Amino acid sequence: MPTLLLPPAADTRARILALAEELLLTRGFNAFSYQHIAKELGIKPAAVHYHYPSKDDLGLALVRRQLARLRKWRDLPRLTSLTPPQQLDALLDTYFGHVQAERRVCLFGALAADFRTLPEAMQAELRIFNRELTEWLAQVLAVGRATASLRFVGSPSAKAIQLLTTLAGALQVARVHDERHYHQIIEQLRLELLP
Amino acid sequence: MPTLLLPPAADTRARILALAEELLLTRGFNAFSYQHIAKELGIKPAAVHYHYPSKDDLGLALVRRQLARLRKWRDLPRLTSLTPPQQLDALLDTYFGHVQAERRVCLFGALAADFRTLPEAMQAELRIFNRELTEWLAQVLAVGRATASLRFVGSPSAKAIQLLTTLAGALQVARVHDERHYHQIIEQLRLELLP
DNA sequence: GTCTATATGATGATAGAC
DNA sequence: GTCTATCATCATATAGAC
């Protein structure tokens, strides 16, 4: 029985998905190819096609993965037990993690510009992703205002979608300009929300 | 001397630029090709290369055109003579025009996700575009607060970059979801800014 | 000066080897 | 089940016709 000198490539599928996610969030969906993935992993492009027959399939898997991750995160007891301002901070931490990781943008920010060129299943899944994230934040905001720990005018759901839109944009700003611009936007948000 | 039955195609260059702008703002930079342009204009791809030798050249021309347009707009006497809230409304009108025009995104929103794949000259020009737009809005906000016609906390420049980021994101939201989501964000902004 | 025929390489995908 | 050799198509770009 030969020794395993290199990763068994048994998890080629997982490695493809992880690398594809990185490429999506750092370069954009229409800016990476199966060749990029294959070269980086030391396999042939057709091997990628085996695991994800078409790029549409790969793209859909990427959005589904993020949606699953969102649901898991949102329901963590560690998170649900926090106060609204703490939950908001947890969200901001996640976004800041994107900035630190090679200035990634969020899923929405990565796909919005190219949205019309995406397969329909991917479009639909992204809408679900956004809806669930917005609903979660709206709930946090509603409780936060009721307990006087967060301050804002208007409806929680309008404020939620406005906030998430700003956060998605802020990651794009971090990419085009720098981290300083990003922090300026976040500090402005905190200034307005936290009494 | 033969009659001109069809547009003389003397302005092929201008038609290319106009169509490229539409494709950029509706589909994304990496999602359109010289073939798309050529087919739509009834010419050969190589004819596009004559006017814009490389796609990098075309992309740079697109950003430069938008920058020139911004400067012209910003300095219009019709605009500079308005009050700050009116100037803000003029800005919002421009963005809403994008939504109505096939749900276009703004230049920044179209290029941010793919930013790393863009030629350096294009990256630099987009940064200038954003900087000038932000500086203009910061000035409007500063005067608006000084005259008590606009209300916000924090520095005018931080508020300006936050607002523009939200607007860029709002156009992306309009594309992924619908016009209603867009209006919700804009109304939230107005609610917070206008006393 | 303006455009078309043509080349070169990348891209997404299939059929078949191991 | 997993991957490689190969393909048709599309992308950008050049050389040369008008």
Question: What is the chain B residue with the closest CA to A172?
Answer: B112
Chain B closest CA to A112's CA: distance in Å? 5
Q: Which of B2-35 are b and which e, b meaning 16 or more Cβ less than 10 Å from the residue's Cβ?
A: eeeeeeeeeebeebbbebbbbbbbbbbbbbbebe
What's the CA–C1' distance between B23 and C14, in Å?
31
**Do A104 and A170 touch, CB atoms closer than 8 A?**
no
**Do A125 and A148 touch, CB atoms closer than 8 A?**
no
pLDDT tens for each residue of A155-172: 999 999 999 999 999 999
| A 36-55: CB within 7 Å of strand D | 43-47, 49-51
Considering CB atoms only, which of A117, A154, A176 is closest to B112? A176
Q: How far is residue B131's CA from residue B128's CA, in Å, rounded to a whole number?
A: 5
**Residue ranges of domains in chain A:** 62-193
Q: Measuring CA to CA, how many Å separate B181 from each of A113, B100, B117?
A: 16, 14, 30
Q: Which two tokens stand for residue B63?
A: 């950003």
Which of A111, A161, A190 best tests the B interface by mutation, with the highest count of B CBs <10 A? A161
Q: How far is residue A12's CA from residue A9's CA, in Å, rounded to a whole number?
A: 5
Q: What is the CA angle A174-B108-B62, rounded to 5? A: 135
**Do A51 and A13 touch, CB atoms closer than 8 A?**
yes
| DSSP 8-state symbol, A170 | H
CA B158 to chain centre: 21
Query: Under 8 Å CB-to-CB from A16, ≥6 apart: which residues?
Result: A37, A41, A48, A51, A52, A58
pTM: 0.94
**Do A169 and B168 touch, CB atoms closer than 8 A?**
yes
Positive or negative: CA dihedral B88, B100, A176, A24: positive
- Checking each nucleotide's C1' against the CA of A42, the nearest proves to be D3
Interface of B with A in 105-144 (CB under 8 A): 105, 108-117, 123, 126-127, 130
Class of domain B62-193: mainly alpha
Q: Which two tokens stand for residue A115?
A: 């949205």
What's the CA–C1' distance between A46 and D10, in Å?
18
Radius of gyration of chain A, Cα coordinates, nearest whole angstrom: 19
CA A85 to chain centre: 21
pLDDT tens for each residue of B95-128: 999 999 999 999 999 999 999 999 999 999 999 9
Query: Under 8 Å CB-to-CB from B165, ≥6 apart: which residues?
Result: A166, A169, A170, A172, A173, A185
Nearest-CA neighbor of A77 among A63, A64, A68, A90?
Answer: A90
Considering CB atoms only, which of B105, B153, B185 is closest to A161? B185
CB contact under 8 A, A188 and B105: no
Q: What is the pLDDT along chain B (195 residues), one digit of tens a residue?
A: 333 334 445 689 999 999 999 999 999 999 999 999 999 999 999 999 999 999 999 999 999 999 999 999 999 999 999 999 999 999 999 999 999 999 999 999 999 999 999 999 999 999 999 999 999 999 999 999 999 999 999 999 999 999 999 999 999 999 999 999 999 999 999 999 999
Question: What is the chain B residue with the closest CA to A163?
Answer: B166
For the segment A11-38, the average pLDDT, to the nearest whole number, is 96
